[in-house]
Amino acid sequence: MGLLDPQARWITIDGGDSAQPLPNPVAMVGDASLLEGIGLTYLVGLSHGDLHADNILARVSEDGTLRVHDARLIDLATFEAQASLSRNIATLVLSLVSEVVRTPLRPGEDTKLIDLVLNPENKTVKPQVAPYVVEAVRDVYSAFRRVLPAYQDSWRPQYLLSVVAQALIHTSYNDAGADGQWWYLRLAARAAHRFLADRSGHQRPGPAGTRRIARPGPTRVRASTGCR
């Protein structure tokens, strides 16, 4: 789709995101990054590195009660003792929505789900698709409240950058399918836009300085089941 072209620093995406220029999320990394000159204070600590749902095991009592507080994390190959704390949260959030986005969503539901991931605490976002996913995303994101209050203002910008990074990684997963990969690309671009929009003085392009990105292949819209 031309995203690797160094001249494609800003893009417009066909679909629900077409109204405004968005940063090319690929242009956030590498030489001449859109992040050049932007400083960020971020929180570090113990980080699993690949915290998706299949890497979390929870014990179950004999009576069938799930012992959530007695969970274990597996597959520690990417563990780091001093990595961005938001990486775990972003990775787990994106894995939770994967089963929803790997098949086509109704028009509007896809955008609402992006809005939810970008700001899970925004209660005005009420997607009608998969309420169980919405609840899980909000519960996982709320873990940042365990951070000392003095440092919580640093959370949101680093979370957005972690979403950009993890969404780009998810575009490479075959099991995400074409629909999921397209949704993750849109999420990465929107997260990059939110991050840069909060940086005062950051230059934005005019309409002539953007590249239009069209989704390859057809999309088939499925009926929403509400919840499983």
pLDDT value for 222: 45
Domain definitions of the chain by residue range: 10-45+85-213
pLDDT tens track for 140-186: 999 988 888 888 888 999 999 999 999 999 999 999 999 999 999 99
pLDDT value for 217: 64
pLDDT value for 116: 93
Q: Which residues of the chain have pLDDT under 70?
A: 15-19, 200-209, 217-228
**What would the 3-class secondary structure string for the chain be?**
CCCCCCCCCEEEECCCCCCCCEECHHHHCCCCCCCCCCCCCCCEEEECCCCCHHHEEEEECCCCCEEEEEEEECCCCCCEEEEECHHHHHHHHHHHCHHHHCCCCCCCHHHHHHHHHHCCCCCCCCCCCCHHHHHHHHHHHHHHHHCCHHHHHHHHHHHHHHHHHHHHHHCCCHHHHHHHHHHHHHHHHHHHHHHHHCCCCCCCCCHHHCEEECCCCCCCCCCCCCCC
The angle formed by the CA atoms of residues 185, 188 and 193, to the nearest 5 degrees, is 130
Taking alpha carbons only, the member of 128, 136, 119, 111 closest to residue 187 is: 111
pLDDT value for 17: 65
pTM (two decimals): 0.87
pLDDT value for 1: 81
pLDDT value for 199: 78
pLDDT value for 129: 75
For residues 116 and 127, the answer to whether their CB atoms sit within 8 Å is: yes
